[in-house]
A and B are shown apart, each in its own frame.
Chain A
């Protein structure tokens, strides 16, 4: 391996132990034989690695937690105030005089009735069908048609015949 390539590894992957074992051994072998690269590696260690070994974890001043806590509490009380404002807006509605509620209740009933009447309800269809059927039956009877094929009516025919007999 050339010195340039070795030095590229020395400054990064070798010093940070990020090389695969084969490449690591290759660099190690080169270092043992090359004075320039050994000096280069010592320089890397002295200037760019060892000074940072002295880095220790520090602790923030107690005031930082106090500020965090205060900010969170302020935000919470602001959000609580938002709910309170909504409640304050709704409470006067509940305190309105009773006649206002009665009028509103009647209006709601009328509105509901209108909507229900206009709504294409599935409940309305069988009722409408039954009434139409009965009207057609009455029309046929009036016209004197006795040959009615409606299954429901056959029982009535038999009943009528029994009464007649």
Chain B
């Protein structure tokens, strides 16, 4: 009796104290054990990074005896019970492996006592035993009803509940719904009349085909896709600078949907278009997909990858690319595996970093290309030719000099952590014979010991160390010559030390008699001048010198930079390497010349010149902001200077960039291996992305097809079969109609992968055409409409509302494509632009285009569209919110855009009497109703609405009526 009572009390306390392995034990192992017992060369053969391996134990035998801590090796070694095996060993530094605290030891004990459950360690299914990860099922269409298979699937569930479809919606409702759904625009009264008067049985299908073929439908689809990929026309983050070449990706999307691009190809283009379809416009513009999201300009352009902050910025950048690719196409929350294995889905931490490695070579930057493929391929040919000639040139005897020079340049650029202030830069002259000088007034007479001249390194122009350093110098003090130097050799990063011991004076002057070659012209440049006294104190520091000329381009160039104390001391390793190259150059230059080679050399140089001038004569290249190998300098170098070699990617302990563990190779999610795709480690980096694209687009990938058809279904039906469209994992919602989903996915995959055909199938189903009115029986049987027993009424989305107002007021400029319009005024663009929407004139016709052509600012979202729940361009939006509230009401009632459109609508519907040329109020109101509500006013409405006009006068009255019409529930909701 006593015993059972005790048990009763024990049970709940055990329940509540259950140790969570991932939360409580794994961090302890990572902190104290993994440094030695990780996946890479595990000590004693014990690998604690994977459950299965850990349970297998190491050279000293099994690690754990469940429920028996005192018999478990793990517990014994951390409590000093195992002779000679105190862990972590005292010899390891506390930074590498921390001793366990008493609390942690107790946790480990409790965990072993409760069974030492190591999640995932014994899961034979590999975690893939989940409906969405199983292969697509071969589903038979229920044979209850002929016609559209969708209806058969839907009716099966409805009949089981004892109900059927709601009646078909009336024609007016149907066309309004269809038109908004497919194009994001309300139908015009003319379109409605045509449909109503078309009595043919295929009248509806004719409308479907008309709308599906319309460019407006492609625009609507592109907007939907831009929500998913968080497209914007600015970078976001600090300063939020514009991204002027983002829009070609938006145009690519519109063209793809208009030409009904097969979905598999659509995937491949966006992840690796440059590999699959080189030199094509679509193949390049599509890469805007990976670059669509925000980008930390400061974290890249001002912080090099050698610093932790720079590493973090690039890590976050790749994280966004991985998330965009996997979330959009496969509906998996892969980012959750950044710090640990995914807690619910079979994604290991290593998988996540392997996916990062796929994008390890690319950055977000402008990529040049030619919209005309012919020019693109011509250019590629010319570039190849040029490379060939350059190779020949290098192969000439004594020809390694150019090679050495470019080596020198690359080495200079690779040096980390250079300051932004480069130094002083003289005026540019066509010949070297133009003396320049620098004069520093030390403020008092002083005894000088040494003068130090520091070289510049212009990484902005990609020139590197030693830029513009004088080849000869004369130093004077108070006009008296002190030192004259000629034939100064190229300094690299080394300062030139000029001994001036014994010199005394106040005005230090450095004369530069001959300038240094830049690129076809001549300059002098210096980073810093130091005048040191006997104690090593720099007397020139902070005194702005006088100079013969100076290019003042702050912060990089300016005479004040000469004495600002900012100079660059390169790491010893780089300086040593540079010395070696400099010596080689000196040797080469001293060799006797081979005359035959010299004449060949000038012939080849002329050839290169020639090719270059042909290239220059080609039409200018277009640019798209995309994922690309970036060829930069300074902090934002990219991988271009290393020939596009991918950065090494490491598995990061707890996702911390400061704690890299083992390096990983590119790959996909190991447990979901639908096809064995080879992820190349060497070769062109685009091969990695191509492999990922193939892996995603592979026919047996269980997720890709399900995820896409579900997104399109949701777009038309208002609710997904899976209502968490970007999460098909264990934390997502279950499918309401799993058979229908698999049938649709298979049908879509095997019938041309045509998004247009898929939409057509859905919107021509009886299920789609239902009324949104629910009968009492339906409300009872399917209250939340999970079974699609009626259409889902919804509020107009932000863009449909704005675009429809433009259309109805007669102001819409329908021309597609091209650079975005800006419905804001930019002030203070130089630092952090202020994007001022309230200063934009709503009557400005350049803004009267469809919302998809809007310039999308991240840091200051469109105030009006935001109240209507437009997508936030900083996050991937799987579905829009739909809210109502007073701020939205204020915006729809008072916003200058709505009022401007009301004026337009009033002018458009205003009808004058045939005889008296006076506004015919009742006729105008009829026209207003036909235009906005696609119906006639009732007698009662005619009376009420006319009363207002009688009070306010015709013009102002009609404008007010137009404003009311644009605010009506009947207009704002779609039945």
Whether A and B are associated in the same complex: the answer reads: no
Q: Which residues of B are interface residues toward A (Cβ below 8 A)? A: none
